[in-house]
Amino acid sequence: MPFLHTARLPALALLGLAMPALPAMAQSPSTTESIVESMRTLSGKQKARPSGAKGQCFTARFTPTPEARALTKSAAFAKESAAIVRFSVGGGNPKVADATKTVNRGLSLRIDPNGPGQSEFVMVNAPVNFVKSPEQMLAFLQARLPGADGKPDAARIKAFTDANPETTNQGKFLAGRPVPASWVGVSYWAIHPYTFTNAQGAKQVVKFRFAPQGGEAGLTDDEAKAKPADFLAAELTGRIAAKQPAGFDVLAVLGTAEDAKLPATQQWPDEDKRPSVRVATLTIAGLEKNETCDGQFFDPTNLADGLAGPTDDPLFTQRQPAYAISITQRF
């Protein structure tokens, strides 16, 4: 786990977070710390998340299917449980317009909070990430930091992009699709590969996709321009009140050990044609106060036994320490 400055440790303790062990000789900020600081600089160092700053918390129900038990022994998939969901609009601007096309939409999920099945996911509405490693993320952010004139250097950004063309994959995917008309009208992916282990010890590599039960719902450019800046929360609460579809089929796309070696910026070969198993449904139940989601971070490395993320991918494993740093700077 990357080094956290000791000045931050009391804040972590007050928030009830685990205290990381410090290395004996740590003289400079880690890559993880530098990533968080760069994100905060680009977002104006506001007292908010440096990514997905704008969002809304909801209550939900997570209902596993019988098919899930053949794949995993995880308590998260053993029975129906309560869940907490935070939907977000990407970027570090808490006032970004909901119809902004150039940012992603996020879904953070905590299954069975404080129970034996507690498992957490951080997802986006694209099947790939915008970077493949913490080092590439830091370089991506630093290329966009403002210069002495307070503006980013377009030539510097272009040079980085030319040297790292895979960092455009997520943006191209989002640009090729309409602006989401609803937080529950778009698919979300967990991006990283996961491994299910069942009661017999058999393992299966999967990639999670949450498919909207009411189908994809997009806006034309004219419809997007006409939308108020904050329409998504109202749209979803209205949908719930009207008993319209407000949930997802949780699909486990079946993969292999070779698929798991691919970088997060790349889809699996023929991923859209792969067989998948519906392992659960996620039903959004109602509005929840944002303090429920903001008081602690969603930790995608926190998974009930029988479900595991990639232990050899620092882009996945360093999320927890990055979020631990970030949460101390929100208030």
**Over the chain, what is the mean pLDDT?**
90
Q: What share of the chain has pLDDT > 90, as a percent?
A: 81
pLDDT tier at 324, thresholds 50, 70, 90: confident
CA-only gyration radius of the chain, Å: 20
Q: What is the mean pLDDT of residues 179-204?
A: 98
**37-72 pLDDT tens trace:** 999 899 887 777 878 899 999 999 999 999 999 999
Query: How many residues are recorded in the chain?
Result: 331
Q: What is the pLDDT of residue 9?
A: 28
d(CA 102, CA 104): 7
Residues ≥6 apart with Cβ < 8 Å to 146: 41, 152
By three-state DSSP, how is residue 122 classified? strand
By three-state DSSP, how is residue 224 classified? helix
Secondary structure (DSSP) of 140-154: HHHTTS--TTSS--H
Q: What is the pLDDT of residue 3?
A: 28
CATH code for residues 6-327: 2.40.180.10
**295-304 pLDDT tens trace:** 889 999 999 9
**209-218 pLDDT tens trace:** 999 999 999 9
Q: What single DSSP character describes residue 132?
A: S
Secondary structure (DSSP) of 298-331: --TT---TTEE--TT-HHHHTHHHHHHHHHTT--
**252-276 pLDDT tens trace:** 999 999 999 999 999 999 999 999 9
Q: What is the pLDDT of residue 24?
A: 35
Contact of 304 with 79, CB cutoff 8 Å:
no
